[in-house]
Structure 1
Amino acid sequence: MSVWLTAAAGLAILAFAYIRTFCPYFSDDCAYMLRSLKLGIRLIKYGKSKPFYSILECFLDAVKRQPNKIFIHFEGRAFSYGEMDLQSNKVARALQAEARLKEGDAVALFLPNEPSFVWTWLGLAKLGCPAALLNFNIRSKSLLHCFSCCGAKVLITAPASFICYYRLLFCSGETGLLVGEITRRSPFVGYAGNKQQTEKKRLYDVMKKGDLYFNTGDLLRFDHEKFIYFQDRVGDTFRWKGENVATSEVADILTLAACVLEANVYGVKVEGHEGRIGMAAVTLKEGETFDSADVYKQVVSYLPAYARPRFLRVQPSLEMTGTFKMKKVKLVEDGFNPALISDPLYFLDPDQKTYVPLTEEIHGAIAAGKMKL
């Protein structure tokens, strides 16, 4: 018996040593999978409960049990359950009286990350009004598009599911396209009012005949420890600060400036930063000089901070492909180093509130991480 116990103990020690050496995150992975499993079971239970127990009902029960307990901490202030309930009641009454809202009316929320966002949503829930939550960073055409396609009758703004499982489709080396299988438990409803864009995001017969996947457009890579990192976006978009930037939208805004004739927008790598920062090559109208103040005014007025091109390159003409599309690859490779580019370069300086000439000193400060982007 002692021999078997000794052998079992030895095998256990060997297994433990193997896991510690080759799977150092095994225990963390197991803990995460256990939490995910528990969450999935909870979601299934909530979905099957009769009658359905909503977030609003959960909140109101908490108000009854503990009205004085702190519900939200925000920038040094604290809001109790009772205070949030009172504020949401005020919102509900005001919207009912002034906006004539009734149950079923969709409302768009365009609010920053602050307590008023929560109590406004709660007020709408009390009225039975579904809320379309708009990204507070978007501006101009993007905001108009989101509001027009969400079906909302009212826009409220400030004064001034189930776990989805993803796979990587490898296209070259360690970089792969992130796709998610579309199933009953992880559906892809699509883009509101845009069937064509919805269909573009669907991939058929990916792993086997008859399956259906969602194309995220994100390129990811694995490192040697199997951690996943975002690499880039596919198509005419790039990502900066966790947000997707549509190059055509930025180009449209740049051409609003009186001096700009054409704009070719793309993203460039910055050492120490994930994703790509916005840059644009522009041509000027005949007889015009670059008006840095006007260009700055347009991008700040109509683009969210993450979409504003931080670098501009003024060229005599833009290179086109045989099908009259603007070439971007060479521009992306060139980057924004003034020592290597003869064209005039400009940098969006938020402190001076204009585009300033991009000097080697500015470039060096950015490369060294001394200048915040």
Structure 2
Amino acid sequence: MDCWRKATQTQGEVHTERARDPGSNPGPLKSFGVKQQSPSCLKMITWLLTSVSAGLLALLLYQRTAYPFFWEDLMYYLKLRRYGKALKSRMQKGIITYLDYLLYHARKSPNKPFIVFEEQTLTYRDVDRRSTRFAKVFRAEGALRKGDVVALLMCNEPDFICVWFGLCKLGCEVAFLNFNIKSQSLLHCLQSCGADTLVVGADLANLLEDLLPSLKDNNISVWVVDDRSPYEACSSLLDKMEQMSGEPLSDLPKADIMSNFLFIFTSGTTGVSKAARVGHLKAIMSMAFLEFCGARSDDNVYIALPLYHMSASLLGIGGCLQLGATCVLKKKFSASQFWKDCVKYNVTVFQYIGELCRYLVNQPTVPEEKTHSVRLAAGSGLRSDVWQEFAKRFGNIRIREGYGLTEASIGFLNYTEEIGPIGRASYFNKLAAPFELLKCDPQTYEPIRTDSGRCTPAQTGKVMMMMMSITLMNQFLGYAGNKVQSEKKLLRDVFKEGDVYFNTGDLLLRDHRDFLYFRDRIGDTFRWKGENVATTEVSDILGNLEFIQEVNVYGVAVPGHEGRAGMAAIVLKPDHKLNGAKLYSHLVKRFPAYAWPWFLRIQTSIDVTETFKQQKGKLVQEGFNPEVVKEPLYFLDVSQRDYTALTPSLYEDIVSGKIHL
């Protein structure tokens, strides 16, 4: 320090000396206005600079070794903070709900394409005006008002979105229905969410035929999105809508951000479909997904997933609304048409579930898969092997794998280039989304508690249950009309008295680098073809057949397929034989194809626990291998509409991919 002080004090002397003798040679240091220092001072300065540089280098090397993703984690956290500030700013301007975002873009960019569907294009202003006309019909003819629950049973089409926002303009809560469900399940969904109005797409009106008497008994009014209705008991919508003006409503209701917005049905982990309440806050947080993945306002986002799913409606449509981007909507996913669509509509971003990508890599090569403009794929459920093959085959497409829940606000995103994980469990991410992986009993999957009654966090490298802390920002609004199941999803007094966590029912693994991997979903459900299947519901329906005494439904892994295929262990009634053709006919009438048991295992009795709960673990582990299972096995032969004996040669054809499920 003395060296630096002396140097600064003598600057005036140097300039004075040069003024006295302009022709003198000041030397290399004097020429810069500094006297030459003593060798000891220079050595000290050099030593300090070298030490600081060495320290910084050592710190950098330590960070690269011990925390290699520190900067990625920090940048993502800062991105979350920036988004939060931007969201707060928009809210202060009155842009709070999905409807507010639609109205904002309709004013700001009225001619910007919002929905592209086949040969039809609707701008943000078009959707705004058309949804207003629907709202006026529902208010004038249907007497709908704020707080009414309206169920929407429609395939992917622009009017799904226009009807949805028309109902939002009246302050109604909309329930999205899976169009694959059968009549009795449909009635259950309507009753559970408390809907007193049902809106049905024209191409799904045939589903109402057997259900109309029950709908009438339950005082549920029905609208068909068509120029005329095929049933006297139902009202047509499009003919009345054409008579309405698209001028804005003057009395749009103001929504409370903490109130309920939608009902989205999920099979969860404990039985039949449940109507999960999705609040405005959860929906607004979901809008950020595409932006965090890297999507922009100038993107064309391809959505072929069903709009009744959270992925397509909240993340996809909501993401386009948040950005002001264009949605290229597809009625139904087609692997053979996918890349052709991407070229035709200049798609730059697409949403996926794992199965979708697997279908694409199994398709024959087409020229369009190399000439497209897709730069980003965002979704969930992508297997590592499919991920690698997809990246290798289809060009420079950045993949952003995520994880989310319909019922709660927890979510992860793998913002790195690592293949396989669903996200990170870093210090910064836990600040943004409080969660824990808990030790649990491997048989019951109940959290293990210590002598003091508290739960224990899982060790790194162990597959354990994921729990989300319930806070003001991480809500769980429960299931409509099902307080028992809502309470079952909550875990209380986890780490301290009074705290509450949401039980996701999902098993995750956290590795030594803080990456999170999805491993399985527990409970009475499995996932197949991108859909959750409630095993208790399938068991109940199969049990109605006269030759079945008892049945235990579960999912089994099939090589080359994402998720688990349905399998049923069956006990036949005395003096009865398996009637495979009748069982197949029974399934076709009551379930969508993804819920069918593809394999049967005939048993003399069903294994149960001491509390009479059916045991599935051993059955799942043994699968459908005839070399392992010594009981009779059967496989569903759709071409014969019957179940056929599962022989070793047939088993080899299935696991080798020669026979595709």
User: What TM-score, normalized by structure 1, do the two folds share?
Assistant: 0.86
Mapped to 1, the partners of 2:119 and 2:436 lie a distance apart of 42
Structure 1 position 250, deviation (Å): 1.0
User: Judging changes above 3 Å, is the alpha-carbon distance between structure 1 residues 199 and 210 closer, same or farther for their aligned structure 2 residues?
Assistant: same
Q: What is the match of residue 112 of structure 1?
A: 155
Q: Amino acid of the residue matched to residue 169 of structure 1?
A: L
Q: What is the match of residue 170 of structure 1?
A: 439
Question: Is the 1:88–1:122 Cα contact (8 Å) retained in structure 2?
Answer: yes
User: Judging changes above 3 Å, is the alpha-carbon distance between structure 1 residues 179 and 320 closer, same or farther for their aligned structure 2 residues?
Assistant: closer
Mapped to 2, the partners of 1:13 and 1:351 lie a distance apart of 67
Q: Amino acid of the residue matched to residue 34 of structure 1?
A: L
Question: Is the 2:95–2:101 Cα contact (8 Å) retained in structure 1?
Answer: no
User: Judging changes above 3 Å, is the alpha-carbon distance between structure 1 residues 39 and 147 closer, same or farther for their aligned structure 2 residues?
Assistant: farther
Question: Is the 1:204–1:213 Cα contact (8 Å) retained in structure 2?
Answer: yes
Structure 1 position 320, deviation (Å): 4.2
| Secondary structure, aligned partner of 1:203 | strand
Q: 1:54 aligns with which of 94, 97, 111?
A: 97
Q: Amino acid of the residue matched to residue 78 of structure 2?
A: L
Q: Amino acid of the residue matched to residue 58 of structure 2?
A: L
Structure 1 position 119, deviation (Å): 1.2
Q: What is the match of residue 132 of structure 1?
A: 175
Structure 1 position 129, deviation (Å): 1.8
Q: What is the match of residue 344 of structure 1?
A: 632
| Secondary structure, aligned partner of 1:213 | strand
Q: What is the match of residue 15 of structure 1?
A: 59
Alignment partner of 1:248 is 2:248: no
* Coordinate RMSD, CA, aligned: 3.0
Mapped to 2, the partners of 1:128 and 1:362 lie a distance apart of 56
Higher mean C-alpha displacement, 179-188 vs 77-86:
77-86
User: Judging changes above 3 Å, is the alpha-carbon distance between structure 1 residues 11 and 198 closer, same or farther for their aligned structure 2 residues?
Assistant: same
What do residues 304-345 of structure 1 show as CA deviations (whole Å, max 9, x unaligned)? 444322211123443444544434333223210123323332
Higher mean C-alpha displacement, 18-27 vs 126-135:
18-27
Question: Is the 1:231–1:274 Cα contact (8 Å) retained in structure 2?
Answer: no
Question: Is the 1:263–1:280 Cα contact (8 Å) retained in structure 2?
Answer: yes
Q: 2:110 aligns with which of 39, 60, 67?
A: 67
Question: Is the 1:338–1:345 Cα contact (8 Å) retained in structure 2?
Answer: yes
Name the count of aligned residue pairs: 372
Alignment partner of 1:24 is 2:68: yes
Higher mean C-alpha displacement, 310-319 vs 195-204:
310-319
| Secondary structure, aligned partner of 1:95 | helix
| Secondary structure, aligned partner of 2:148 | coil
Q: Identity rate of aligned residues, in percent?
A: 47
Alignment partner of 1:318 is 2:606: yes
Q: What is the match of residue 122 of structure 2?
A: 79
Mapped to 2, the partners of 1:4 and 1:351 lie a distance apart of 81
Residue correspondence of structure 1 range 250-329 to structure 2 within 5 A: 250-271=538-559, 275-329=563-617
Q: 1:215 aligns with which of 499, 503, 509?
A: 503
Alignment partner of 1:197 is 2:241: no
Mapped to 2, the partners of 1:109 and 1:4 lie a distance apart of 71
Structure 1 position 359, deviation (Å): 3.6
Larger Rg: 2
Structure 1 position 107, deviation (Å): 0.7
Question: Is the 1:138–1:304 Cα contact (8 Å) retained in structure 2?
Answer: yes
Question: Is the 2:106–2:124 Cα contact (8 Å) retained in structure 1?
Answer: yes
User: Judging changes above 3 Å, is the alpha-carbon distance between structure 1 residues 307 and 67 closer, same or farther for their aligned structure 2 residues?
Assistant: same
Mapped to 2, the partners of 1:20 and 1:317 lie a distance apart of 57
Mapped to 2, the partners of 1:132 and 1:241 lie a distance apart of 23
Residue correspondence of structure 1 range 135-154 to structure 2 within 5 A: 135-154=178-197
Question: Is the 1:88–1:119 Cα contact (8 Å) retained in structure 2?
Answer: yes
Structure 1 position 99, deviation (Å): 3.1
User: What TM-score, normalized by structure 2, do the two folds share?
Assistant: 0.51
Question: Is the 1:232–1:276 Cα contact (8 Å) retained in structure 2?
Answer: no
Structure 1 position 179, deviation (Å): 0.7
What do residues 189-215 of structure 1 show as CA deviations (whole Å, max 9, x unaligned)? 222122222222221111122211111
Q: 2:517 aligns with which of 222, 229, 239?
A: 229
Mapped to 2, the partners of 1:74 and 1:362 lie a distance apart of 42
Structure 2 residue ranges without an equivalent (≥5): 1-44, 205-281, 286-408, 411-432, 441-457
User: Judging changes above 3 Å, is the alpha-carbon distance between structure 1 residues 228 and 296 closer, same or farther for their aligned structure 2 residues?
Assistant: farther
Q: Amino acid of the residue matched to residue 14 of structure 1?
A: A
Question: Is the 1:269–1:277 Cα contact (8 Å) retained in structure 2?
Answer: yes
Mapped to 1, the partners of 2:159 and 2:608 lie a distance apart of 49
Structure 1 position 346, deviation (Å): 2.4
| Secondary structure, aligned partner of 2:169 | helix
Q: Amino acid of the residue matched to residue 477 of structure 2?
A: V
Q: Amino acid of the residue matched to residue 6 of structure 1?
A: T
User: Judging changes above 3 Å, is the alpha-carbon distance between structure 1 residues 203 and 318 closer, same or farther for their aligned structure 2 residues?
Assistant: closer
Mapped to 2, the partners of 1:5 and 1:297 lie a distance apart of 82
User: Judging changes above 3 Å, is the alpha-carbon distance between structure 1 residues 317 and 58 closer, same or farther for their aligned structure 2 residues?
Assistant: closer
Question: Is the 2:146–2:172 Cα contact (8 Å) retained in structure 1?
Answer: yes
Higher mean C-alpha displacement, 207-216 vs 284-293:
284-293
Q: Amino acid of the residue matched to residue 230 of structure 1?
A: F
What do residues 256-310 of structure 1 show as CA deviations (whole Å, max 9, x unaligned)? 3343332111222334555533211112334443222322233233234443222
User: Judging changes above 3 Å, is the alpha-carbon distance between structure 1 residues 350 and 9 closer, same or farther for their aligned structure 2 residues?
Assistant: farther
Q: What is the match of residue 100 of structure 1?
A: 143
Mapped to 2, the partners of 1:289 and 1:140 lie a distance apart of 29
Q: Amino acid of the residue matched to residue 229 of structure 1?
A: Y
Structure 1 position 17, deviation (Å): 3.2
Mapped to 2, the partners of 1:370 and 1:40 lie a distance apart of 50
| Secondary structure, aligned partner of 1:58 | helix
Q: What is the match of residue 397 of structure 2?
A: none
User: Judging changes above 3 Å, is the alpha-carbon distance between structure 1 residues 53 and 178 closer, same or farther for their aligned structure 2 residues?
Assistant: closer
